[in-house]
């Protein structure tokens, strides 16, 4: 069965491609390599022994997208990861975000309609909730106005899916609202590969430990949490990859309860920045050079998932804990930084 994975050389995409190949799906990847490397394909081959088909182009190019679907008339489903995802950059350059994240989705849905393709799994984010009034957040928690153009593309992306699945009987979709994906494959052959200075906490931690950054700044120590630092729900990328295969199979087996479903993917455990740093130090044996600094504009204070709907409906739950996340992220960093 042939599955199109957009953004398949990216961080979550590559881990999901590995799972799909291990389960004998045929995978076609489209990625423009704007935030990933072609060498990820070799790593995928080394892990699975299989080589996915790869096309390098921008999904905003509707002509190329149309050509792809003409060439691969037997695509059964799309897992759509490809998107720009840096919150700060989206504030500086909103049009890049609206264009990249929405044009690509619209081009894919248009081709699904043209070629009678039924199934899409969509990368959404807990960013759709903003700072919720009540924790943990369930799927019914109302959206707050988006904090950034990036967050808005995820809210609008879900609206586009809701409207399209309502209007076109044959199309069904599942949006997966990720909390904070971290960690790497146990082989350390694939992992998060941020270009430039990392925005996200865990790559910054591991690069600091590897000596590539001098000091980690912990943004905010006066939040209303037990140690004053911000709280998130970190989830292992390998658990996330599993959830994508389960969501895909729910669509392929027509087990969904409505044409558009959405699920929270987290562990359900809130963890502060300081706790994350301490766990990293514990599993790596490395003391981190860090300092407490001002809050980062646009950050929410705390968010973590109620995962009971995903647990019950998808039969999925996160298996790996914070220690596994930090240990695998460190193993990956040591490999790419060539540390013994
Ligand atoms: N943090 C630091 N120092 C750093 C980097 C991050 O203290 O150098 C803190 C942040 O201030 C925040 C926490 O670590 O409190 C987590 O920050 P990340 O940047 O790793 O993750 P975010 O929660 O900000 O963002 C993530 C995804 C986004 C998504 C968002 C939804 O990266 O794509 O969750 O809330 F939109």
pLDDT digit string (tens) for 113-137? 999 999 999 999 999 998 899 999 9
Inside any domain, residue 84: yes
Q: Which residue minimizes the CA distance to atom 16 of ligand 1? A: 201
Confidence of residue 153 (pLDDT cuts 50, 70, 90): very high
Q: 165: domain CATH number?
A: 3.40.50.720
Residue (of 20, 12, 338) closest to 183 by Cα position = 12
CA distance 85 to 201: 14
Please indicate, yes or no, whether the overall pTM of this predicted structure exceeds 0.75.
yes
Ligand 1 atom nearest to CA at 217: 3
CA distance 277 to 194: 19
Ligand 1 atom nearest to CA at 303: 35
Inside any domain, residue 312: no
Inside any domain, residue 21: yes
Rounded to the nearest whole angstrom, what is the distance from the C-alpha of residue 66 to the centroid of ligand 1? 36
Q: Which residue minimizes the CA distance to atom 32 of ligand 1? A: 200
Q: Which residue minimizes the CA distance to atom 1 of ligand 1? A: 201
Mean pLDDT of the region 192-220: 96
Query: What pLDDT sits at residue 195?
Result: 87
Q: Which helix (H) or strand (E) holds 276?
A: helix 273-284
The one catalytic residue in 11, 150, 223, 234 is 150
Q: Which domain holds residue 145?
A: 2-182+236-265
Rounded to the nearest whole angstrom, what is the distance from the C-alpha of residue 201 to the centroid of ligand 1? 6
Confidence of residue 147 (pLDDT cuts 50, 70, 90): confident
At residue 144, does pLDDT exceed 90? Answer: yes
Residue of 182, 200, 207 with the most ligand 1 atoms within 8 Å of its CB, for mutation: 200
Q: Which residue minimizes the CA distance to atom 2 of ligand 1? A: 218
At residue 340, does pLDDT exceed 90? Answer: no
Inside any domain, residue 274: no
Inside any domain, residue 207: no
The two tokens of residue 316 are 């999925």
Q: Give me the percent of the chain exceeding a pLDDT of 90.
A: 96
Ligand 1 atom nearest to CA at 204: 8
Mean pLDDT of the region 90-107: 97
CA angle 221, 222, 225 (to 5 degrees): 90
Query: What pLDDT sits at residue 131?
Result: 87
Ligand 1 atom nearest to CA at 151: 36
Inside any domain, residue 136: yes
CA distance 238 to 182: 9
Query: What pLDDT sits at residue 234?
Result: 98
Q: Which residue minimizes the CA distance to atom 6 of ligand 1? A: 201
Active site residue 223: no
Chain centroid, CA 234 distance in Å: 12
Backbone angles phi, psi at 217, to 5 degrees: -95, 130
Q: What is the count of structural domains for the chain?
A: 1
pLDDT digit string (tens) for 48-88? 999 999 999 999 999 999 999 999 999 999 999 999 999 98
Q: Which residues line ligand 1 (CB under 6 A)?
A: 85, 87, 125-127, 180, 199-201, 204, 216-219, 230, 232, 273, 296, 299
Query: What pLDDT sits at residue 47?
Result: 98
In sequence order, what DSSP letters do the residues of 37-72 get, joined into one string? -TTHHHHHHHHHS---EEE---TT-HHHHHHHHHH-
Q: Which one of 140-149, 190-199, 237-246 scores highest in mean pLDDT?
A: 237-246
pLDDT digit string (tens) for 220-270? 999 999 999 999 999 999 999 999 999 999 999 999 999 999 999 999 999
* Average pLDDT of the residues of the chain: 97
Q: Which residue minimizes the CA distance to atom 11 of ligand 1? A: 219
Rounded to the nearest whole angstrom, what is the distance from the C-alpha of residue 169 to the centroid of ligand 1? 38
Rounded to the nearest whole angstrom, what is the distance from the C-alpha of residue 192 to the centroid of ligand 1? 14
Mean pLDDT of the region 180-189: 98
Inside any domain, residue 204: no
Rounded to the nearest whole angstrom, what is the distance from the C-alpha of residue 200 to the centroid of ligand 1? 5
Inside any domain, residue 198: no
């Amino acid at each position: 069965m042939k599955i199109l994975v957009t953004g398949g050389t990216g961080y979550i995409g590559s881990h999901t491609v590995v799972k799909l190949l291990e389960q004998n799906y045929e995978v076609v990847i489209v990625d423009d390599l704007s935030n990933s490397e072609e060498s990820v394909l070799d790593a995928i081959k080394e892990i699975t022994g299989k080589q996915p088909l790869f096309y390098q182009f921008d999904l905003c190019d509707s002509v190329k997208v149309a050509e792809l679907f003409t060439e691969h008339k037997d695509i059964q489903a799309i897992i759509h990861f490809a998107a720009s995802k840096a919150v700060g950059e989206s504030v500086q350059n909103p049009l890049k975000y609206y264009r990249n994240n929405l044009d690509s989705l619209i081009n894919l849905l248009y081709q699904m309609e043209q070629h009678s393709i039924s199934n899409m799994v969509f990368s959404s984010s807990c960013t759709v909730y903003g700072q919720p009034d009540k924790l943990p957040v369930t799927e019914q928690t109302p959206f707050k106005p988006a904090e950034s153009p990036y967050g808005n593309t995820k809210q609008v992306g879900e609206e586009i899916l809701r409207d399209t699945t309502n209007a076109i009987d044959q199309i069904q979709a599942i949006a997966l609202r990720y909390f904070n994906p971290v960690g790497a494959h146990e082989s350390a052959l694939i992992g998060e590969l941020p270009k430039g200075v990392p925005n996200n906490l865990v790559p910054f931690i591991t690069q600091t430990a590897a000596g590539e950054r001098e000091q980690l700044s912990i943004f905010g120590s006066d939040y209303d949490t037990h140690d004053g630092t911000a709280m998130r729900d970190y989830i292992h990328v390998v658990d996330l990859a599993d959830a994508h295969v389960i969501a895909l199979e729910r669509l392929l087996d027509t087990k969904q309860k409505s044409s558009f479903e959405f699920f929270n993917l987290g562990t359900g455990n809130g963890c502060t920045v300081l706790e994350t740093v301490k766990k990293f130090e514990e599993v790596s044996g490395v003391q981190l050079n860090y300092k407490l600094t001002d809050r980062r504009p646009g950050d929410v204070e705390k968010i973590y998932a109620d995962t009971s709907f995903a647990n019950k409906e998808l039969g999925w739950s996160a298996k790996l804990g914070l220690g596994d996340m930090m240990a695998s992220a460190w193993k990956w960093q040591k490999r790419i930084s060539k540390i013994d």
